[in-house]
Amino acid sequence: MAITARNLKPTLIISILFFFMVIPMGGHRVMRESPQQYNYYDNYYYNPRLPQICENFPAICNNNHGSSGKDCCRSQCVDLKSDMFNCGKCGNWCNYSQVCCGGRCLGVLFDNSNCGRCGNKCSNGGRCNYGMCSYA
Other CB atoms within 10 Å distance of the CB of residue 90: 15
Give mean pLDDT, residues 42-59.
66
67-79, pLDDT tens digit by residue? 678 888 888 888 9
Q: Where are the domains of the chain?
A: 51-80
Burial (0-12, 13-18, 19+ Cβ within 10 Å), 67 = middle
Find the radius of gyration of the CA atoms of the chain.
Answer: 32
Query: Which residues partner with 77 through β-bridges?
Result: 72
What confidence category does residue 63 fall into, taking pLDDT thresholds of 50, 70 and 90? low
Query: Which residues partner with 134 through β-bridges?
Result: 127
pTM exceeding the 0.75 threshold for the entire prediction? no
**C-alpha pair distances (Å), 36 with each of 29, 33, 39, 48, 69:** 12, 8, 10, 12, 22
81-119, pLDDT tens digit by residue? 999 999 999 999 999 889 999 999 999 999 999 999 999
